[in-house]
Amino acid sequence: MGGGRSPLRQWRAPSPYTNQYVLLTVEDEQDCYEEAMADERNEKWQSAMDEEMQALIENNTCSLVPRVEEKQPIGCKWIYKIKRNVYGSIARYKARIVAKGYAKKYGIDYEETFSLVVKNTTIRVLITLAVSKRWSLYQLDVKNAFLNAELEEEVYIEQPQGYMHKQYPNYVCKLKKALSRLKQAPRAWNHKLIEYLVKCDFIVSDSDSSLYIKHNGNHIVLLCIYVDDLILTGSCGKDIKDRLKKEFKISDLGELRYFLGIEIIITNEVM
């Protein structure tokens, strides 16, 4: 066999109709821009990249400026992912532009990094509580979460592959918002999210800094944070979910089914 990788791989997934397993053929994701453009699915990858660039523009993520001699721009690259449904069928093609954050130096380009990651134990307790109280458990995915966060530092990146400005090819992008894989991006996003939660009268739990709690009379809402994934439950969780969707661009994934290795089966039957 040659040294190149196969464009297809196979895995076994449970059938939704029986207790048997079905064999699915899974298309590989691409590793770089050149591979995506050479792929027979290049139109799908191109559409995904266009969608990502449009998100950058709508969020006012960066501005095109002349190179600054004292500030060395860092590189950026495209990351390609195939989002799948529960049983393996393709939901969407996704492309994301990420910073080559490993080129940044601590103490010069950034001061701290931090990301909220809820504890597995907290999730288990939350599920148990929701079941006992008959609360709905919602799962939300914040789209382009890091693009919501303003940067405090002055950061420049090279123009993305495939989107070089024809008139200003030597210009660079000055970031106003954070990008994925930028060292300070998770901290900037967390600050933005927490600021909004505090505004909505949430308080942080003493037992887990990724769990936020809101009391409103006889009602209570609990919200867990795992970077850009949110788990929400409580006696009036839907109201908070609607408020979050107005503040951030969010994919509503419906009721929680699978999270951190825990599978949740919703049933009316008594086990």
> Can you list the alpha helix ranges (DSSP code H) found in 102-260?
120-133, 185-199, 237-247
Q: What is the pLDDT of residues 69-117, one digit of tens each?
A: 888 898 999 999 888 766 667 878 889 888 886 544 444 343 444 557 8
CB 54 within 8 A of CB 60: no
36 alpha-carbon distance from chain centroid: 21
- Which token pair is 95? 């492309």
- Which token pair is 30? 């691409």
Half-sphere exposure of 165 (CA within 13 A, CB side): 13
Say what the pLDDT of residue 270 is: 52
CB 144 within 8 A of CB 55: yes
Lowest mean pLDDT among 63-67, 106-110, 261-265: 106-110
What band does 6 get if pLDDT is binned at 50, 70 and 90? very low
What band does 22 get if pLDDT is binned at 50, 70 and 90? very low
Say what the pLDDT of residue 27 is: 54
Q: How many helices (H) and strands (E) does the chain have?
A: 5, 15
Q: Please determine, for residue 177, whether its predicted confidence score (pLDDT) is greater than 60.
A: yes
Could you tell me which residue, 270 or 118, shows the higher pLDDT? 118
The whole-model pTM stands at: 0.59
